[in-house]
Amino acid sequence: MRAPLPSASSDLPRLSRIIAYALPALPLAALTLPLYILLPAFYSGPVGLSLGATGAALLAVRLFDAFNDPFIGIVADRWRGKFGRRRRLFALALPICALAAFMLFWPPEGAGPLYLAGWGMALSLGYTAAIIPFYAWGAEMAGDYGARSTITGWREGLTLTGTLIAIALPFSLGFDDAAGFHGLALLGVIIAATLPVFGAVAVVAVPEPAEHTRAPVGWREGLRHLRENGPFLRLIAAFFVNGLANGIPATLFLFFVGDYLGATDLQGPLLFLYFACGVAGVPVAAFASKRIGKHRAWSLGMIAACIIFAPVPLLSEGDIAAFAVICAATGLLVGFDLAIPPAIQADVIDVDTAASGEQRSGVYFAAWSLATKLSLALAVGLAFPVLGWFGFETGGGPDQSATALTALAVIYSLVPVGLKLGAIALMWNFPLDASEQGALRRTIEAPARG
User: What is the secondary structure of 266-326 as a DSSP string?
Assistant: GHHHHHHHHHHHHHHHHHHHHHHHHHH-HHHHHHHHHHHHHHHHTTGGG--TT-HHHHHHH
In eight-state DSSP terms, residue 13 is P
CB distance 31 to 123 below 8 Å = yes
| Interatomic CA distance for residues 67 and 70, integer angstroms | 6
| Tens-place pLDDT, residues 206-223 | 988 777 777 677 777 877
| Interatomic CA distance for residues 433 and 87, integer angstroms | 30
pLDDT at 277 over 60: yes
Q: Is the pLDDT higher at 124 or at 48? A: 124
Q: Can you give the pLDDT at residue 272?
A: 85
Q: Average pLDDT of 302-324?
A: 93
DSSP percent split of the chain into helix, strand, coil, nearest 5:
80, 0, 20
Q: What separation in angstroms does the CA of 278 have from each of 103, 131, 382?
A: 29, 21, 26
Q: What average pLDDT does the chain have?
A: 84
Q: Can you give the pLDDT at residue 5?
A: 39
CB atoms within 10 A of CB 354: 17
Q: Average pLDDT of 282-303?
A: 92
CB distance 127 to 61 below 8 Å = no
On whether the pTM is more than 0.85, the answer is no
Q: Average pLDDT of 318-346?
A: 91
CB distance 13 to 150 below 8 Å = no
Q: Can you give the pLDDT at residue 259?
A: 84
Tell me the Cα Rg of the chain: 21
| Interatomic CA distance for residues 191 and 195, integer angstroms | 6
DSSP E strands: which ranges in 6-100?
none
Q: Of 213-227, 271-285, 303-317, 336-350, where does mean pLDDT reach its minimum?
A: 213-227
pLDDT band at 34 (very low <50, low <70, confident <90, very high): low
Q: Average pLDDT of 238-263?
A: 89
Q: Can you give the pLDDT at residue 328?
A: 94
Q: Can you give the pLDDT at residue 178?
A: 64
User: What is the secondary structure of 103-120 as a DSSP string?
Assistant: HHHSPPTT--HHHHHHHH
In the chain, % of residues over pLDDT 70: 93
pLDDT at 438 over 70: yes
pLDDT band at 2 (very low <50, low <70, confident <90, very high): very low
Q: Average pLDDT of 69-94?
A: 83
pLDDT band at 9 (very low <50, low <70, confident <90, very high): very low
Q: Average pLDDT of 324-334?
A: 93
Strand (E) or helix (H) holding 158: helix 145-173
pLDDT at 1 over 50: no
Q: Is the pLDDT higher at 29 or at 398? A: 29
CA 184 to chain centre: 20
| Tens-place pLDDT, residues 153-184 | 899 889 888 888 887 777 777 766 666 788 88
pLDDT band at 265 (very low <50, low <70, confident <90, very high): confident
User: What is the secondary structure of 204-255 as a DSSP string?
Assistant: HHSPPPP---SS---HHHHHHHHHH-HHHHHHHHHHHHHHHHHHHHHHHHHH
CB atoms within 10 A of CB 429: 10
In eight-state DSSP terms, residue 256 is I
